Copies of this chain bind each other. A is one copy, B any other.
Amino acid sequence: MPSLTMIEAIRDAMDVMMARDDRVVTFGQDVGRFGGVFRCTDGLQGKYGSSRCFDTPISESGIVGIAVGMGAYGLRPVAEIQFADYMYPAYDQIVSEAARLRYRSAGEFSAPIVVRMPCGGGIFGAQTHSQSPEALFTHVAGLKTVIPSNPHDAKGLLIAAIEDDDPVVFLEPKRIYNGPFDGHHDRPVVPWSKHELSETPQGHYTVPIGEAVVRREGAEVSILAYGTMVHVAEAARREVGIDAEIIDLRSLIPLDVDTIVQSVIKTGRCMIVHEATRTSGFGAELSALIQEKCFYHLEAPVVRVTGWDTPYPHAQEWDYFPGPDRVGRALIRLMES
Contacts and interface: CB of A to CB of B under 8 A. Distances in A.
Interface of A: 85, 88-89, 91-92, 95-96, 99-100, 103-104, 127-128, 135-136, 138-142, 253, 276-277, 279-285, 287-289, 291-292, 295, 298, 300-304, 308-311
Nearest to A288: B287
29 contacts: A88-B91, A88-B95, A89-B92, A91-B91, A91-B92, A99-B311, A100-B127, A103-B127, A103-B310, A135-B135, A135-B280, A136-B139, A139-B280, A141-B310, A141-B311, A253-B279, A279-B285, A280-B280, A280-B282, A280-B284, A283-B288, A284-B284, A284-B285, A284-B287, A287-B292, A288-B291, A291-B301, A295-B300, A295-B301
Nearest to A145: B280
A292 B302 contact: yes
B292 A288 contact: no
Contacts of A281: 139
Contacts of A284: 280, 284-285, 287-289
Contacts of A127: 100, 103-104
Contacts of A135: 135, 139, 280
A239 B288 CA distance: 27
Quickly give the copy total for this chain. 2
Nearest to A299: B295
Most buried by B among A141, A298, A302, A308: A141
Contacts of A283: 288
Given A136-B136, A139-B277, A287-B291, 4 more contacts: A96-B128, A99-B311, A284-B285, A295-B301
Contacts of A141: 277, 279, 308-311
B302 A288 contact: yes
Contacts of A136: 136, 139
Nearest to A142: B311
Most buried by B among A88, A282, A288, A303: A288
A303 B292 contact: yes
